[in-house]
């Protein structure tokens, strides 16, 4: 029997991401994708059940999987809070700034009902994405360094600014002067850390 061509599957995924990033999810069609990948539309249906299946697998497996791996590289839940946060922020920035297609689909994941639902179901059925961050935060809640808030609230406070900064990095890409640099990222990270940490020695009653 003839084996599946892995190159063709990889081409489908990367070209789909490219179209979504450049023209938007609403302008991705199976026929456009097939033509751009130089294959027959039928070939896509050998690897994916239908368009929704393709989009969901692209989002969950290709994009979020690689994103999680990149963010957690050289990160350990037992790290000190400041060290860990800076590692996570810098990993996020250096991965996403070189992967605009991935960032685009992650953004769509917050808008599209289809992708949003897929994300929540995956989180429930197969365990949370970014589980080591979960552990990391729990440890620092236990020591009393950061307040005991729901994990989703922690995420909003600690990581939504870095994602917004990446969006701004891309918005400024064609301008002469870059304002979102690694130095700015670290400054912002320190500001976020300062906000969340309980500096017990400073309590004034």
Partner DNA sequence: AAAGTAAGTAAACGTTTGTTTACTTTTAAA
Partner DNA sequence: TTTAAAAGTAAACAAACGTTTACTTACTTT
Q: How far apart are CA 53 and CA 185, in angstroms?
A: 36
Structure tokens at 160: 């939504």
Stretch binding its own copies (CB under 8 A), from 38-46, 88-96, 126-134, 195-203: 195-203
Cβ atoms < 10 Å from Cβ of 43: 18
Q: Is 203 in the site for its own copies (CB under 8 A)?
A: no
Least distance from DNA to the Cβ atom of residue 38, Å:
7
Binds DNA (CB under 7 A): choice among 10, 22, 24, 46: 46
Contacting its own copies (CB under 8 A), which of 114, 139, 141, 145? 114
Phi, psi for 180 (deg, rounded to 5): -95, 95
When the beta carbons of 8 and 134 are compared against its own copies, the nearer one is 134
Contacts of 196 (CB under 8 A, 6+ apart): 146, 147, 157, 158
* C-alpha distance across the termini of the chain, in Å: 77
Q: Does 10 bind DNA (CB under 7 A)?
A: no
Tell me if 67 sits within 8 A of 102, measured CB to CB: yes
28 lies in the site for DNA, by CB under 7 A: yes
Give least dist CB 38 to its own copies, A: 24
Would you tell me which residues interact with DNA (CB under 7 A)?
A: 1-5, 8, 28-32, 34, 38-47, 50-52
């Amino acid at each position: 029997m003839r084996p599946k061509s892995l190159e063709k599957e990889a081409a489908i995924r990367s070209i789909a991401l490219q179209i979504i990033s450049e023209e938007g999810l609403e302008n991705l069609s199976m026929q456009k994708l097939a033509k751009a990948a130089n294959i027959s539309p039928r070939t896509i249906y050998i690897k994916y059940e239908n368009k929704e299946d393709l989009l969901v697998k692209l989002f969950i497996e290709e994009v979020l999987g690689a994103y999680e791996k990149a963010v957690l590289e050289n990160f350990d839940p037992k790290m000190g809070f400041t060290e860990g946060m800076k590692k996570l922020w810098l990993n996020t920035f250096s991965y996403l700034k070189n992967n605009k297609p991935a960032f685009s689909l992650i953004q769509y994941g917050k808008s599209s009902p289809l992708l949003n639902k897929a994300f929540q179901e995956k989180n429930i059925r197969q365990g949370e994405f970014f589980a080591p961050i979960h552990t990391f935060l729990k440890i620092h809640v236990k020591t009393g360094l950061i307040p005991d808030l729901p994990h989703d609230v922690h995420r909003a406070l600690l990581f939504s600014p870095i994602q917004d900064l990446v969006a701004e990095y891309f918005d400024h890409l064609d301008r002469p002067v870059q304002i979102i640099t690694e130095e700015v990222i670290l400054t912002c990270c320190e500001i976020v850390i300062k906000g969340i940490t309980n500096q017990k020695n400073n309590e004034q009653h």
